[in-house]
Structure 1
């Protein structure tokens, strides 16, 4: 992986003063720089010098390629290249017959060669633990290198890397997967902190990997379909499942008898369904398997059901004549097909048969009579029925009975009445009521104002193309004579006056007798007092 900061910095000289080691006769040897910090594969100029005044030979021992750049009286400059790891280059000096040496410390830093997050599973089930693994190769110094596992920008775990730069490292962590992790991005990131050496914080990141989570219920898909399919019909077949996630990622299919059915999908938050319309065209009875397969997260759920396909034609109902005159003979026939048994309403009981017949002489009571032809067929242990109906129309002459038209009516004059008189027949007869005396018509239905002139005996006649019938009815209108009413009023008034007069005369006589009795009583009392006053004292 490339570092996030472009380019490599020049070598950093950590010690600017050469170390000095005393040699024979007080001679000294030094190396410059004493310490250096540089990127892997970089180069370094090393100066070896000595204070030797005798015959002097300088050299540099190292495992890296070197070239001599310059030579002075008592110094020599070398350039090291392709430095791959930490090392200790050694300067030596042969002063006369005495050899002395001094070494420097070269530290190498490098970015990881590989930062990779292990591939995630194609699908991870919700509620299960997911182990994330990050592989890191290379990178130095390890003491300043760390790695972290991330979910988006959230740090799940971070830890320093140990071991030698060439040792591969792996960091892991476990997360409990939820629905919210669907579509989440996971990655691995390393950080090389070179700030203590005066550089910067460098980071490398792996390629992010996206997680796909799923959840399936413990139930199987629900099949909504009839157990029986009839040839020549269109049926709706539905397969559905609730409680799954993500519903939009689910794939659902319907098969009937091994044949894939075109369908429409309906997707909700945690619901998915497939609906197919099937037109049954097979001409022979058969049993076919309906199969629903739902796939999500690399797993599949299946539901199946056996459907019985049958052919059940409707029964045929025939009447020799749909419209006959009263007394005519009519033949009714009911016939079933495809192995079904026929039944005909009104037919006498008999053994099961595919054909039943009934013969009758049509009467007025058979008008609008409905005949029911029923076919029964057993399919997969179930008894199915299909019916046909026809009506018989009978032509018969008019009927005008007592219940249809009362024989006598009595109405008060001036009242509002309803003349209830109805004739029956097919075709419907025409009904009129006329007075025998003069042929005056009596209105049938609402009579708003009854008049005394309507009194009389009427002949009600019902006529149709199939005959006629008559019935005599009598209407009496009650009314009051005003002259008789006036005489009665006068008699009543005279009677009242006579009664009042007699009452007054009786009261007068009674009052006069009462006054006479009072007067006589007073006179008797006065006479008694007078006699008492004239009597001598005792």
Structure 2
């Protein structure tokens, strides 16, 4: 039997006997207070009083530290000190040789030494069940001790604390998005209000919970499927439905090289963008990883790097005299197909050629060579252009210099007269009689002094050409001198035209009537020759 168990058993036996055996001659014993509650380690004064008609022995039986502090003929006061255990003391008496006892209901209370919320996971998925453990050491009596789970200041649940030491109380919660960054804590409550005391409580240090949502979908990776070696190209990776998106980490990796990314957040979405360059031909892996909490989502892709130089376009010779044959040739790498001026080679292949006899109108013509190559299911194109230069002598015709201008004096006009040719010819126009130059350009206003007939000549290293042009200026009587002949000529031409129309119309009528008469005669002749 453990130490202290024998005295306790003896006291229990005495109590039992005191309740079963009748007292002697009406002898009684009492204990005061009959019920007490004190803190562990505290002290208490107990009064034992008897009523017996003769002198007898009486006292207080307990294993607790006791000291008699006062007495009278039929009473004694004892002080219990450093009370650590709940052991009920007994007042006893031997009256008339018989044992009588009275017991006290003693309750010891003490506060827990430690309360702690067990460590939370670093990240907790929203909606998944989470067990929160509150650990408490010490404290009693346990049937008065309970544990409360707090979310901030809100009480979520409470449970009684068991008798094990240390005790652990587990709560189950389903965290929400709004619980991200919220503090959780444990609070023990020792409720002694039924014992005439108060409600004692203390709260653990809080722990913050981080909740997150990572969708089951993979990130969306955007990159060109084929890229030319040496060029810079963009890579984008996006994922929607994250929470909190700002805590997500995004990585872009090309081959085994992590790309420098610019990451932006918008609501529940994250976007990573990078520009990169690769100088090695071939297919390279491309990966995007988005991690949040303790989970990660990945997307894989690839990009094919290629080298495809511009096709070679040659004009042979590149500068020729008009009416000379020019050979145009387009050549590209093997495996590609060329089109020369929009026309495919026959059969399709990496080379195309055409010949043409050039004229002045071909000067400045552009020839294009388009090469197409299929790479990783994609068709890429390269285009090369060349300009043809045709050498030809000066041209001075109506489209370059109208040659006959009639303007009203005082009006504002622009006189245009230019020569064509390669090399560009030099143009000189002078008026017959006085050699005045033709006023090419803006005439603001037109004056009668510029009227006249001019002789223009254009010259270059490839020859020359001349043309006569007239500039008329209408003013006063001059208008009638010009207008009347013009009107007269117009009337004459109109009269002749009308007469010709009438003559032709009459001829058509006569021809029609002749053909009609011939047809009627032929019908009549056929009718006479037919037998009855």
Q: TM-score, normalised by structure 1?
A: 0.72
2:511 is matched with none
- Gaps of at least 5 residues in structure 2 are 1-20, 482-532
Equivalent residue, structure 1, for 2:187: 189
Correspondent of 1:394 among 387, 390, 395: 390
Aligned to 2:359: 363
Q: Deviations over 1:89-135 (max 9, x none)?
A: 22334467443333222111122455444554443333455555545
The alpha carbon displacement at 1:378 in A equals 0.4
1:421 counterpart (417, 420, 431): 417
Per-residue CA distance 1:146-180 (angstroms, 9 max, x = gap): 44322111222356x387697957474645x4322
**2:415 and 2:118 mapped to 1: Cα distance?**
102
How far does the alpha carbon of each residue in 1:513-535 deviate from its partner, in whole angstroms, 9 at most, with x for none? Answer: xxxxxxxxxxxxxxxxxxxxxxx
Q: Secondary structure at the match of 2:388?
A: strand
- Residue 468 of structure 2 is matched in structure 1 by 472
Give the CA RMSD over aligned residues.
4.0
Match of 2:222 in 1: 224
**Secondary structure, in 3 states, of the residue corresponding to 1:306?**
strand
Please name the residue that 2:111 is paired with: 111
Structure 2 Cα separation of the partners of residues 73 and 202 of structure 1: 39
Asked if 2 retains the 8 angstrom alpha-carbon contact of 1:404 and 1:421, the reply is yes
* Equivalent in the alignment of 1:459: 455
Whether 1:285 and 2:297 are equivalent positions in the alignment is no
- State how far apart, in whole Å, the 2-side matches of 1:478 and 1:272 are: 78
Contact preservation (8 Å) 1:22, 1:29? no
108-117 vs 252-261, greater mean Cα deviation: 108-117
Maintained 8 Å contact 1:181/1:211: yes
Structure 1's 32 and 386: CA in aligned 2 closer, same or farther, altered over 3 A?
Answer: same
Q: Is contact 1:265-1:272 (8 Å) kept?
A: yes
Residue 65 of structure 2: aligned partner? 66
Pairing partner for 2:339 from 340, 343, 359? 343
Name the SS of the counterpart of 2:390 in structure 1. Answer: strand
Q: CA deviation at 1:37?
A: 1.6
1:514 is matched with none
- Number of equivalenced pairs: 458
Distance 1:178 1:101, change over 3 A: closer
Match of residue 213 from structure 1: 211
- What is residue 274 of structure 2 aligned with on the other side? 276
Whether contact under 8 Å (1:312, 1:338) holds in the other structure is: no
Shift of 1:380: 1.4
So what's the TM-score if we normalise by structure 2? 0.72
Instruction: Tell me the residue number matched to 1:492.
Output: none
Could you tell me whether the CA contact under 8 Å between 1:231 and 1:309 is conserved in 2? yes
Q: Once the two structures are superposed, what CA deviation does each residue of 1:296-355 show, in whole Å capped at 9, x if it has no partner? A: 232222222232222222223344555444456655443323743333338894333434
How far 1:49 moved relative to its partner? 6.3
| Change in 2 beyond 3 A, CA 1:174/1:407 | closer
> Shift of residue 82 of structure 1?
5.5
Structure 1 residue 478: Cα displacement: 6.1
Secondary structure of the structure 1 residue equivalent to 2:455: strand
State the Cα distance separating 1:45 from its structure 2 match.
5.0
SS at 2:88 equivalent: coil
Does structure 2 conserve the Cα–Cα contact (< 8 Å) formed by 1:452 and 1:479? no
Say if 1:100 and 1:423 are closer, same or farther in 2 by CA, change over 3 A: same
Quick one: distance in 2 between partners of 1:372 and 1:239? 38
Q: In the alignment, which of 204, 207, 212 is matched to residue 202 of structure 2?
A: 204
